[in-house]
Copies of this chain bind each other. A is one copy, B any other.
Amino acid sequence: MNQISRHMRPSSSERQAGLIAAAASLFAEKGFNGTTTREIAKAAGVSEALVFKYFPTKRLLYAAILAEKVTVNELLEAVEEAARKHDDHRVFTLIASYRIRPDVDSTLLRLLLFSALEGHELSDMFFGKHHKVFYDHLAAYIRTRVEDGAFRAVDPLLAARAFIGMVVHHRLLHEIFGVPMHQSHENTVATYVDLFLTGLIKKPDNKTPERQSR
């Protein structure tokens, strides 16, 4: 009788997910203080009262969003495989092109910035899951390559942050400040990787000439 077509009521968890999705989009767009619970309810297609049935306070709804969004592991796996092969170029290109690509969604970046600026208590965790993992992995890789003698003796953490900085700054410019793209995504990534790796890879030095053929 009562098929899906008519008045199928979403389950409790589906409602929660729907509310989180609607709220995440609004919070990313206008910030925590700039978003009203009425808007969230309307976007999710329910009454305002129901929002509070699922999330006792607006702040708990916000916390649920930050806690839910998890990092993607497929990228880190691909990075680690490239790392095993000592394929420097691929490691850096993978990381950069994961963030610099045509259809990238700015929701998470905006949420991250808003949560940090507005001083939410879960901001640290959110930052850790979404950004710290990247430069921690990268720093670890750079450290091993320095020990290999393939990279110059730089501080691995600073170097990793420098590279991530290029990428994040690029996203800030285009996704937050609306600066138009200067070159294609591929060219941008290629330029950043090239610039950075050239500065990092140990060259046969002019001062102490030692032969190194690879």
Residues of A within 8 A of B (CB): 30-31, 33-34, 110, 113-114, 116-118, 123-124, 127, 152, 154-155, 157-159, 161-162, 164-170, 172-173, 176-178, 182-183, 187-188, 191-192, 194-200, 203-206, 209-214
Contacts and interface: CB of A to CB of B under 8 A. Distances in A.
A155 B194 CA distance: 11
A31 B195 contact: no
B154 A191 contact: yes
A117 B170 CA distance: 16
B195 A199 contact: yes
Contact of A117 (B158, B176, B183, B187): B176
A169 B165 contact: yes
A209 B194 CA distance: 13
A142 to B, nearest CB: 11
B204 A204 contact: no
Given A117-B110, A123-B177, A212-B204, A191 B159 contact: yes
Nearest to A157: B182
